Every structure is written in C-alpha cells, then in structure tokens.
Structure 1
Amino acid sequence: MTVPPPPWRRSPSPRRRAEKPLLSRDLVVKTALDLLAAEGFEAVSMRRIAQQLETGPASLYAHVANKEELDELMLDAVLGDVPVPQPDPANWAEQVKEQVRHQVRAMVAYPGIAKVAWNTPVPVTPNSLRQGEAMLAILRAGGLDLKQAVFAGDALSLYAKAYAYEASSWTFGDYDEAEVAERGRQMADYMRSLPAGAFPNLLLSGQFFTGETSKDRFEFALAMFVGGLQSLVRA
C-alpha cells in the first residue's frame, strides 16, 4: 500500500539536467584540442565540436570565424604550454636545444597540430609571437646578429615542425605499419639485387632508421645545428 507524504513535506522536484557550460571561444578551443588528442587532426571539425558541446555548428561561429581560425587558436593554445626562459648568454646553446625540445613535445602531445604549424607559415597569434621572440632573444644573447638569428630560428622551427609532423603521422596511422614493413623488405631485396658494391653505405644505413633511433636522430641533428651556430659565433 502506498502511503502519501504528509502535507508539510515537500515533494521532491524532478531532477534537473545539469546545465551546459557557457559557450565561449576558450571552451570551443579546449573541446577541439581534446578531440585532437584523442582521435587526431582529421577528427576535428566544427560539426564534431558542436556535437561534443551539445549545440549546433552555427552557434560556434559566434566565437570562431571558421575552421582555419580554430586551427590557429589550437596551435596557439598548445604553444602556450611551452615555457619561455630568460636568455642566458653563458648557456644559450643549451637553451636553444631545450626550447626546440619543448616545442616538439608540445606538438607531439597533440598529434596533427604540427600540420597546422606547417600550414601557417607566419603565425601571429600571441603565443606564436611569444615563442618566436623568445628564440630570437636566446640566439642574439649567444652572439648572433639579427639576420643570423632570424635565419637560424626559421631553420630550427622548420626542423621542429617536421619532426613533430612525422611523429604524429605514426601515432594516428597515416602510415600503415604492415605496409611500411613490407615496403622496407622489398627495398632491402631490391638494393641487394643491384650490382655488388654499387651502394655499400646505403645498404647498411637502414639499421639507423627505426623507431628506436628516432630520438637519437633528433638529438644528433639538433647538436650539429647548434654546434654550427657556436662555430659561427666564435668566428
């Protein structure tokens, strides 16, 4: 038998649905980055972001002009996690290397964001400018003139983006590992079929192009580049 509640007891109100967070540019960018980290760059679209936020795509355009602007805002947010050191003339070479390492780590943490960096030759968002100025300041503290620092900063940025882009491609399957392995075997067989002694160094080089040597290759290139800058300063 059901007993009704006494009249002085208030009936429980129907459970209200939790209110959605207020839509904002920051929330749109954060949602896009969450998708990027979970599923890769190709999964990020205005429609997917709207679905995640339980709204319509049109409502996003009040905060972000288009997908291109969203891409730049995502890149800027990622670069915002990269620290900016105070230039140290006595330790500038290591600061340069560490700055590139930080940038690569930030881009690899969000696979595909390096593609945005490639497609934005001269980024002018706040954190992009902050990173560019920081690198130039470190290079100039080391003794390079402005022209040398600009050229060096540009080359280091290109290398960081290229390395991060390749790493991201492996993470989200732009390369099929089975196909790559099969192509590797075919290339090895092909090279061995060529006239003896024709390409002795290339035949031995494959052992250095593996996932295990990836970090070593990165650090070697970075050391050679910065070593060259040190020689330039000494000269």
Structure 2
Amino acid sequence: MPVDPKQRRAARHAQPVDAAVPTARRKAPITVDRITDAALEVVATQGYDALTMRSVAAVLDTGPASLYAHVVNKADIDELIIGRLCAQLVLPHPDPATWREQIRDVCTQIRDQYLQYPGISRAALAMVSTNLDVMRVSEGMLSILLAGAVDPQTAAWAIDSLYLYVSAYALEHSLVTQRQAKAGDDWILSRQDLITRFTALPEDRFPQTKRYAAELTSGTAHARFDFTLTLLIDNLPHTHTRP
C-alpha cells in the first residue's frame, strides 16, 4: 500500500478493477517458517543431497538472495529443519522406574522423524546446536537419564552417543533405499540369497560365517536398532543416588 498520503488517496480513487478480469495473486511473504517448510519439502521429495539455497528458493518461487534476509546460510537451514523435527517429539516426565523405556522411546521417535526425510540425519551430524527445539530434546534426555541415577558426565556422553547412533542408522537406511531405487530389484539380495552365499564360502577361510549364516542375517533393521539401543542403555553405569 502506498505510504505517501497523496498516493493513498489516489489509490482509493482509482478505477475499480473489472471483476471479470483476474488479478495477480499476491505472493505470501517469505518467513523463516516458510523457508523451513520448503526445505523439508525438498528433502522429502528429492532427498537431503538436493537441499540447497537455490532448491529451497525454487519451492518458494523466489531467488536465493531473498532467503538471506531471513537465514544466514545453508547450515542455518540445517539447524532449522532439525529443530522442526525435534519440536514434534513428545517428551515424557522423567520416571525413575521406567527411565530406560523412556529414553528408548525418545530415540525411536527421533529415528522415525529422520526416516520421513531421506538423508536428513546428515544435517544433525557434527552439529552443536543452540536451537531451542533441539535443546529441549537434549534437556529431556538428560533429565530422563539423571532420573535413572546415571552419573551426569556419563549421561552427557551417552546422549551424544545415542544421537550419533540414531543419526547413523537413519542415514544408512536412506542410503540403502536410495541405492535400491537406482539399481533396481536385481541388486537387492533376500535373506535366503545371503545365507546361500555365506554357506557357499570356503570352510577353511570362513568357518564361523558358514556356521552362523542364519544368525548373521537374522532380524529386521528395526529389531537390530532396538537391540543396539538396549545394549547402550542397559550398560550405562549409574550411581545409587539421584540428583
């Protein structure tokens, strides 16, 4: 709207536009939330490798320069999208009786959020974030571990290890899915195919692989995820007193 009073008056007195003639729809303003939405759309539809300032701008029907009034750079967008996913997580009230189940559930929620967006966990790796939504999750995880009488230093490092494992698991999942999509069904080996190959190996060089082929190939990806989380969590040393 014109800011000069004369221009405002002129606008009020301008001939009305014929209702039969369509008018151009005004673009919605660029905001941080819309940039985050666009970034997640890029990752969901094209994968994390496609996430750039240019690809986000294209979703918003603007140029990359328009984004810099709202975000610093691509790393800033990385932090925003991880923060958005963290905002979706439901954190329990820490319970000393069920703290293992609680921390396992939070990690599973993070995994499921990451798996919706192929490769997005790469944005979380090597990130020391001060985003409040990310810090809310870290605070919640720390509170759960402390409620379980885990030593504060151990709890701090355990959170880092859990984040790293969840991120690596989700990244591997996305890479395998991407490779399968490109290579086609012929590239994918069934469990029985793997067992057949393992049991056909030379006995003198691979005796244990031949003998335990079924065990080596057993379980779903998520079952192995649960196994590793349980292994990490159940072996955390803890004190006898809670803070």
The TM-score, its normalising length taken from structure 1, stands at 0.82
State the Cα distance separating 1:115 from its structure 2 match. 0.7
Q: Which residue is 2:165 aligned to?
A: 159
Q: 2:73 aligns with which of 47, 66, 76?
A: 66
Q: Does 1:85 align with 2:92?
A: yes
1:133 counterpart letter in structure 2:
E
Q: Which residue is 2:37 aligned to?
A: 30
**In 2, Cα distance between equivalents of 1:84 and 1:190:** 43
**In 1, Cα distance between equivalents of 2:197 and 2:177:** 28
- Alignment CA distance shift 1:210-1:34 (3 Å): farther
State the Cα distance separating 1:33 from its structure 2 match. 0.4
- Alignment CA distance shift 1:170-1:19 (3 Å): farther
- Alignment CA distance shift 1:207-1:193 (3 Å): closer
The TM-score, its normalising length taken from structure 2, stands at 0.79
Kindly report the root-mean-square deviation, in angstroms, between the aligned alpha carbons of the 2 structures: 2.9
- Alignment CA distance shift 1:27-1:226 (3 Å): same
Q: Does 1:213 align with 2:234?
A: no
Q: 2:120 aligns with which of 113, 116, 124?
A: 113
Q: Which residue is 1:150 aligned to?
A: 156
State the Cα distance separating 1:219 from its structure 2 match. 1.1
1:152 counterpart letter in structure 2:
A
Q: Deviations over 1:154-193 (max 9, x none)?
A: 22111111111111223333874644649x9799758734
Q: Residue 172 of structure 1 aligns to a residue in which SS?
A: helix
Q: Which residue is 1:101 aligned to?
A: 108
Q: Does 1:50 align with 2:57?
A: yes
2:163 counterpart letter in structure 1:
S
Unaligned runs of 5+ residues in structure 1 are 1-9
Q: Deviations over 1:73-125 (max 9, x none)?
A: 111111111112211112111101111111111111112111111142x2221
Q: Deviations over 1:196-232 (max 9, x none)?
A: 2543332355545669611111111122222223x74
State the Cα distance separating 1:46 from its structure 2 match. 1.4
User: Percent identity among equivalent residues?
Assistant: 32
**In 2, Cα distance between equivalents of 1:208 and 1:186:** 11
